Each structure stands twice: as structure tokens, then as C-alpha cells.
């Protein structure tokens, strides 16, 4: 299982990250983030990010 990341954490790998609800449910929202940059704030407290589609380079 891929680790969940919180808002403000540094992105370990570039790609698309899915926003996951507090109990692990899918929200249908995704963001694109670049390695080394911090993750943006989520829409609600308790949400996290999970890498779904890493960049292939």
C-alpha cells in the first residue's frame, strides 16, 4: 500500500495525487504535484493524498 501524505508535506515523487477522505474513501479529486514541492491544503481537515499516477521520466 502506498503511504498517505498530508498537506504541507514535501512530495516524494512527481505525479497525480488523489485526495483521500479521513476514513480512506475516494473523493474523486486529483491534483498534479512536482517532486520537492509541498502539497497544497486539502478541502477539509483530516483529508490526505495518495500517489495514483507517477510521472514516467
pLDDT of residue 1: 54
In-domain check, residue 50: yes
Structural domain range at position 30:
15-54
pLDDT of residue 56: 84
In-domain check, residue 4: no
User: pLDDT by residue (tens digit) across 20-53?
Assistant: 999 989 999 999 999 999 999 998 999 999 999 9
**Cβ atoms within 10 A of the Cβ of 21, count?**
14
Number of domains in the chain: 1
pLDDT of 3 above 80: no
pLDDT of residue 43: 85
In-domain check, residue 3: no
Whether the Cβ atoms of residue 50 and residue 27 lie closer than 8 Å to each other:
no
Q: Where residue 2 falls among pLDDT bands split at 50, 70, 90?
A: low
pLDDT of residue 14: 96
CA distances from 44 to 7, 37, 55, 56 (A): 11, 20, 26, 30
Amino acid at each position: 500500500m502506498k503511504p498517505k501524505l498530508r498537506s504541507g508535506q514535501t512530495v516524494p515523487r512527481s505525479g497525480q495525487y488523489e485526495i483521500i477522505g479521513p476514513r480512506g474513501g475516494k473523493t474523486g479529486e486529483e491534483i498534479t504535484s512536482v517532486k520537492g514541492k509541498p502539497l497544497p491544503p486539502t478541502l477539509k481537515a483530516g483529508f490526505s493524498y495518495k500517489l495514483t499516477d507517477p510521472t514516467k521520466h
